[in-house]
Amino acid sequence: MIRWREGQVEEVVGSWGAAVRLRVRLADGASVPALAYTDLVGTPVAGDRVLLNGNALERGLGTGGLAMVVALPDRLPPDAERPGHLVKARYTPLQAMVLGADEQESQHHELLREADSIDGMPVVAADLHSSLPAVVAAIRLDRPGTRVVYVMTDGGALPAAFSRTLVGLREAGWLDGVVTAGQAFGGDLEAVTVHTALLAARLVLRADVAVVAQGPGNLGTGTRWGFSGVLAGEALNAAAVLSGRAVACLRVSGADPRERHRGVSHHSLTAYGRVLNRPADLVVPDLAQQPGVSPALAEQVRREADELLARAPHLTGHVVPTDGLRPALLGSPVPLSTMGRGLDEDPAAFLAAAAAGRHAAALLSGGAAG
């Protein structure tokens, strides 16, 4: 349920895209960080009275530990004059109506109405949003000029505006478009499902490669099946059904304090070994002799990937070299951070993601990276 709070905007701290960061003084005198999405509630300024949802703030969530602005009750925004009847965040108090790329009012409806193939386009699926810049860095390094489109699923944040990563990658020219699928919203194009999102990425935005991952703020429960990253397996099923080339990006870590995520994460083992049931390429990063990656970790990743391949006949393993990828990662226009750890603290995490991007680039060139 919602923890309702009321306050007054003290300061506009900053903004990115359609998101505004605020300091808000609550009725009890406490000053708290808050976030407003301008497309939903309007643009707050100092002195505005705001109604807040305090759930994430009071639970101290790592990614989204902010009070969320629900309304500016004394200064409501004008009605949005937008076509479309695709409702995102359906039947919630902040449901938003958008124009779906595939719905009847869309200029792309005829193109997508009978569309059934993405014509061999590589589709890289990753568990975490933080993998996105690493995947793209490797694609740009090995195949400059590749058109990359991000498909954001609804496993994490629903508003694309929450992601500073997306804003930074778009401003730097590293992404050629964003499609928000399912209940996620705010991309260049909106889609009902991951299937139509992939079709829109290929046919409308002319993507050479699509990268599919949830938005920031994944959810996990420490159980085999109770985590939002299972959608990575479903995304690759969709890619295969649509005649794409499915590329599975392993979630790897040498620094996560939780044993279940060290080496190859149990999320990857479940999503690619159990949920995914169509043919896909499993990218196994060669982490040997990489600075900051111990020989023991490099061997563990290879061993656990081999064990996954042995029990998942739908997967084809590709050992991909990671040499030359670190400078590309250092050149990212957005900070590299996964669970609060950067490239120096957990290089294996970003190198594994970059290896998946390298493999996708090789597929476009008619080969395979490993």
CATH number at residue 179: 3.40.50
Does 234 lie in the same domain as 171? yes
Does 124 lie in the same domain as 63? no
Residue 330 identity (one-letter amino acid):
L
Measure the CA–CA gap between 7 and 212, rounded to whole angstroms: 37
Does 139 lie in the same domain as 45? no
Is 369 contained in some domain? no
Tell me if 165 sits within 8 A of 133, measured CB to CB: yes
Tell me if 134 sits within 8 A of 145, measured CB to CB: no
Does 211 lie in the same domain as 259? yes
The pLDDT of residue 62 is: 58
Does 182 lie in the same domain as 65? no
Does 204 lie in the same domain as 337? yes
- Domain boundary among the residues 71, 96, 118 is at 71
Is 164 contained in some domain? yes
The pLDDT of residue 100 is: 95
The pLDDT of residue 96 is: 86
| Paired tokens of 35 | 């976030």
Is 44 contained in some domain? yes
- Domain boundary among the residues 54, 71, 88 is at 71
Does 204 lie in the same domain as 150? yes
The pLDDT of residue 80 is: 75
- Domain boundary among the residues 71, 99, 123 is at 71
Does 215 lie in the same domain as 162? yes
Does 116 lie in the same domain as 65? no
The pLDDT of residue 365 is: 87
Is 267 contained in some domain? yes
The pLDDT of residue 57 is: 80
The pLDDT of residue 60 is: 67
Sign for the CA dihedral angle at 235, 240, 244, 248 comes to positive
Is 102 contained in some domain? no
The pLDDT of residue 214 is: 96
- From the first residue on, what is the mean pLDDT of each consecutive set of 10 residues in the chain (370 residues)? 92 94 94 93 95 83 78 90 81 87 94 97 97 98 98 95 96 98 96 98 98 91 86 97 98 91 94 97 97 96 97 98 97 95 96 98 80
Does 153 lie in the same domain as 49? no
The pLDDT of residue 135 is: 98
Does 188 lie in the same domain as 54? no
Domain of 240, in residue numbers: 109-364
The pLDDT of residue 119 is: 97
**For the domain that residue 65 is a member of, what is the CATH number?**
2.40.50.140
Strands 148-153 and 189-191: unpaired
Q: How far, in whole angstroms, is CA 7 from its chain's centroid?
A: 32
Is 201 contained in some domain? yes
Sign for the CA dihedral angle at 311, 312, 318, 321 comes to negative
Is 93 contained in some domain? no
Is 80 contained in some domain? no
The pLDDT of residue 210 is: 98
Number of compact structural domains in the chain: 2
Does 308 lie in the same domain as 185? yes
Predicted TM-score of the model (pTM): 0.92
User: For 329-335, which contacts have Cβ atoms below 8 Å and span 24 or more sequence positions?
Assistant: 329/134, 329/137, 329/354, 331/137, 332/133, 332/134, 332/137, 333/133, 333/168, 333/169, 333/171, 333/172, 333/174, 334/133, 334/164, 334/165, 334/168, 334/169, 334/172
